[in-house]
Amino acid sequence: MGQAVSRYEMIEDGDRILVGVSGGKDSLVMLWLLNERLARIPVHYTLCPVYIDLGFKPDFSDRLKQYLKTAGFDLIVDHTDFGPVAHSKINRENPCFLCARRRRQRLFEIGDELGCRKIALGHNQDDLIETLFLNMCYAGELSTMVPLQKFFKGAITILRPLAHAAENDIRRFAGQINLPVFTNPCPSSGKSRRQEIKDLLKTLYRRNRKIKGNIFRAMHHVNLDYLPHPAAPAYAKGRS
C-alpha cells in the first residue's frame, strides 16, 4: 500500500480523507493501515470512516460502528434504500451498476459535507484486473479502475491505496490482525458478472502462477501501435 500511495502521490500533509468502509476485509484493512502508518511518517492527515448502509437485512451497521469505536474511530453511518431499489422492477439497469453509482454519489455528497476532498476506497489488485475483463466482455472497451482518479475538475479525488495489493495477501493480513467478519447481505453477492469473471480468472491463475502478475503489468505497458483504431484516418484510408 505504501508503494501505491507514494507512486501516485495520493496523500498530502493536512488532507482530510473520507474512508469508504463496507464491512469487508479490504476496506477495514485499508483503514487499519492508513491509521497505523500515521505514527511512522512525517505527513499528518485525518481519516473520516463512512459506511453507506444499502438497506439490506440483516443490518450490521451497529456492530460495525461499535467495533470501530473500540479501535478509536467514530464511524458515520448513512442509511439508504439503494440496494432494494436497484434490485426492484423499476430498475432496468444492472443492479450492481446502479447501486454502486448511487453509493459513490452519496460518498461525494458526504465528503463535501465533511470537508473531505479525497475519498479512499478499498479496491485491490484483483478488483482492477476483474474490472478490465468486465469492461472488455460486457462494455466492449479497454478500461479499468485507476489508483488515483480526479472528479469535478479536481474538486474530489478518489484514492485506491490497495491497488497494488493482492486479495489473498489482504485476506491473510486481515486474519493476522483478527478483523471481524461481516457477512454481505446483498442478494447478488456471489452471483454477479464480477463473480463470473473472478471464477474465470481463478481457473487461469491455477494453470500458471505468473498470469495474474502479467495481466497487471500489461495494464501499465499498453502498446497502442498494436491496437486497432477504427476512427483514425490512416486506418480508414488503408481499408478503402
Question: What is the DSSP secondary-structure string of 156-212?
Answer: EEEE-TTTTS-HHHHHHHHHHTT--------TTTTTSHHHHHHHHHHHHHHH-TTHH
pLDDT band at 87 (very low <50, low <70, confident <90, very high): confident
Nearest CA among 6, 34, 4, 7 for reference residue 18: 34
Its domain, for residue 170, covers 2-239
| 149 strand-pairing partners | 158
pLDDT band at 162 (very low <50, low <70, confident <90, very high): very high
Give percent above pLDDT 70 in the chain. Answer: 95
Kindly report, residue by residue over 64-80, the tens digit of the pLDDT: 999 999 999 999 999 99
Q: What share of the chain is helix, strand, coil (3-state, %, to 5)?
A: 50, 10, 40
Kindly report, residue by residue over 181-216, the tens digit of the pLDDT: 888 888 877 778 888 999 999 999 999 999 999 999
Number of domains present in the structure of the chain: 1
CA distances, 145 to each of 21, 59, 149, 181, 189 (Å): 18, 28, 8, 26, 20
| CATH code assigned at 205 | 3.40.50.620
231 has a pLDDT exceeding 70: no
